[in-house]
Amino acid sequence: MKSITLLLLTLVLVVPPMSAEEEKSYLLTRDDISMKVHKYFESTSDESSSFAESFFSEGLEVYINDLHIKGKDEYLKRLDVIRNQMFKDIKFEELHVHTNYFSSEALLTKDQTFGEHQPNEQTIWTNAWGVFAGIGRTTGNKVSFRMHMD
């Protein structure tokens, strides 16, 4: 009797989720993209932009609140100002990076899936959280704040 009860309980708990339509999106932390993003943040502490130059594509678009930076060259100019004029001894501490590989059935907005938004392309989105730490080049003051980037 215990065996039958256990079997029925297992079926009740396991079968409905298996038969439900799943989005099949997944998240990875040790994939190539996430590891390259880790390397990007590690390379920021040196004052060379060689890794960033090889990492980003020409079609790069960056949004920082309402600021829109379009193109790899424009982004590298901004990065140069941050690293060589504003701060020194930059470090990213407590860094967590993961990459989301969205299913075409996953919701982008309340009314649209990723597949409807980009029918011919998988949506891949990398997130990074950490603490920016550095020393202001003008003031010599230590600066530290939490940051998040997609």
pLDDT in tens, 4-62: 555 445 555 555 555 456 779 999 999 999 999 999 999 887 667 888 899 899 999 99
Q: How far is CA 17 from CA 10, 14, 20, 111, in A?
A: 12, 6, 5, 23
pLDDT in tens, 93-128: 999 999 999 999 999 999 999 999 999 999 999 999
Q: In what order do the strands lie in the sheet with 87-102?
A: 26-28, 87-102, 123-136, 142-149
Domain ranges of the chain: 22-149
pTM of the model: 0.77
Architecture category of domain 22-149 in CATH: Roll (3.10)
